[in-house]
Structure 1
Amino acid sequence: MKFLLDLLFRVIQLFTEPYFLVFLAIVIIALLKRKNKRKNLRIGVGFFAVVMIIFIGNGFLGKLTSGYLQKSYVNTIMNKNKTSQNPVIVVLGGGVVDFDNTEKLHTMSYSRLVTAYQLYHEYKMNNLPCKIVISGKGRGQKSEAELFSENFKKMGVSETDLIKEDKSMNTYENAKYSSKILKQMAPSDVYLVTSGFHMKRSVALFHTFGLDPVPQASDFIDTEITLFPNSYNAAFTFVMLKEVLGIWQVQLYNSLGLNG
């Protein structure tokens, strides 16, 4: 059953791709024309496609989606008193870029790196212990966990405070494998560091594996309402729509007992 649902959500995910929507509209119009269907119907399909492109490209849908995904986490940044005795910071990988045969963290990863370090530094300034669990394998020769670790050490984080979870390939596995490590450590607090648009789904998955992390959003994305559609608004809107779909998938799987 899970395999079929996975396949279904992959198909649905296509509808969050702008090029697929344009391609689908063209195909529908072409088929209607070939079968000599009413001209008004073809015009209607074309008009609907144009309206959707405008609605997505002018930033309106993006504004609504960004609020749904991120608003809950704006005031959670660094607002907890850093006095617990055995905290663990979990930072989720944001991707690896292989450019000219050199692997570097994706741009998105650096805000997560900085936010996790700021949390860690606060504890160390108060002479309190703190560990960082770095979660992510990625698809490069070096894992996300390894690249994060190299950067953390350059920033002054002790190697003994770094724990690499380098098996996970997606957010579900981030939560699954990190939870096994965390349950062995029995921390007083768990801080979860990832991007704001990615936080709601991440927290839901960590809840699935019995953890209640304190969300610490490292960055936020938003769109700007514009008179004319633009690619910036469209790109971020589709990124966020995928996250919304992912949240619905987590909720459905949890209700059916398919996660865990």
Structure 2
Amino acid sequence: MIRQLESAYPVCDLGLLSLLKEPIPIIVLGAGYGYNEELPPLNRLNITTLGRLAEAVRIYKALPDAKVAGSAGQITQPISQAQAIAEGALALGVPPSDTLQLRGALNTWEEAGKFVARFGKGSKVVIATDAIHMPRAMMLFEAKGLQPIAAPTNHHIKTEISLTLFDFLPSTASLRKTELVMHEYLGILWAKWVLL
């Protein structure tokens, strides 16, 4: 089930992307962070957000005039997740003039809405998010009238699957993967029944 979600979109091809002769923002969808003034910006991002940001910066370096947009709001933290992502981009060498913040969104649907409010319907956008989350993200961004380009990252399935006896034994890693798959499929159903 993970492979089915993760294989829906290939890794972003920088060669094909560079053929587009227009600046395209790269949005890093929020996935969590923890604010601590004593930690440097990259250490504040959780591992999922950090992987998404790394993919965005990889693409940014290959595209002239690109911008990296941090996304997502805040509930209990002193700064928004969008700001935390932007600070992480700065730490990776993206100049301040090439970072954006789309604050206030609490989920992917709202992140797409914030992007439309800033750039307008019909805009192209590169979405940096987990490969397992990409089908839902693309569906929601398209539903908002955008032209998203997938940049999947943080793949859970990295090699060909060859099952062994140990794969059928319960483990916490398997429970986590089951949780991720169920979260995405339920999110897709919710989007189709309620949002779209």
TM above 0.5, yes or no, is yes
| Unmatched tracts of structure 1, length 5 or more | 1-64
Question: Rg bigger for which structure?
Answer: 1
**Aligned pair partner of 1:130 in 47, 66, 80:** 66
Alpha-carbon contact 2:2-2:132 (below 8 Å) kept = yes
Pairing 1:219-238 to 2, within 5 Å after superposition = 219-222=154-157, 225=163, 226-238=167-179
Q: Does 1:200 align with 2:141?
A: no
- CA offset at residue 77 of structure 1? 4.7
**Aligned pair partner of 2:112 in 145, 156, 175:** 175
Over 3 Å counting, the alpha-carbon distance change for 1:159 and 1:98 in structure 2 is: closer
For residue 47 of structure 2, what is the amino acid of its counterpart? T
Over 3 Å counting, the alpha-carbon distance change for 1:213 and 1:141 in structure 2 is: same
Over 3 Å counting, the alpha-carbon distance change for 1:151 and 1:219 in structure 2 is: same
Question: Paired residue for 1:74?
Answer: 10
Deviations 1:47-72 (A, max 9, x none): xxxxxxxxxxxxxxxxxx21221112
Question: Paired residue for 1:151?
Answer: 88
For residue 140 of structure 2, what is the amino acid of its counterpart? L
- CA offset at residue 79 of structure 1? 5.4
- CA offset at residue 203 of structure 1? 0.8
- CA offset at residue 100 of structure 1? 9.9
Deviations 1:15-61 (A, max 9, x none): xxxxxxxxxxxxxxxxxxxxxxxxxxxxxxxxxxxxxxxxxxxxxxx
Distance 2:33 2:157 in 1: 23
Alpha-carbon contact 1:203-1:213 (below 8 Å) kept = yes
Q: State the TM-score, normalized to the length of structure 1.
A: 0.64
Alpha-carbon contact 1:78-1:216 (below 8 Å) kept = no
- Secondary structure in structure 2 of the residue aligned to 1:194: strand
Question: Paired residue for 2:24?
Answer: 87
Distance 1:104 1:145 in 2: 12
Alpha-carbon contact 1:135-1:174 (below 8 Å) kept = yes
Deviations 1:190-222 (A, max 9, x none): 211111111111111101110120100022124
- CA offset at residue 156 of structure 1? 1.8
Distance 2:185 2:36 in 1: 30
For residue 237 of structure 1, what is the amino acid of its counterpart? T
Deviations 1:63-120 (A, max 9, x none): xx21221112234454524132221111111111357986811111111111100111
Question: Paired residue for 2:149?
Answer: 214
Percent identity (aligned): 22
- Secondary structure in structure 1 of the residue aligned to 2:44: strand
Alpha-carbon contact 1:77-1:217 (below 8 Å) kept = no
**Aligned-pair Cα RMSD in Å:** 2.4
Residues paired across the two proteins, number: 185
Deviations 1:153-201 (A, max 9, x none): 12221211111011111111111111211218x75x4211111111111
| Unmatched tracts of structure 2, length 5 or more | none
Over 3 Å counting, the alpha-carbon distance change for 1:79 and 1:214 in structure 2 is: farther
Distance 2:184 2:50 in 1: 20
Over 3 Å counting, the alpha-carbon distance change for 1:98 and 1:134 in structure 2 is: closer
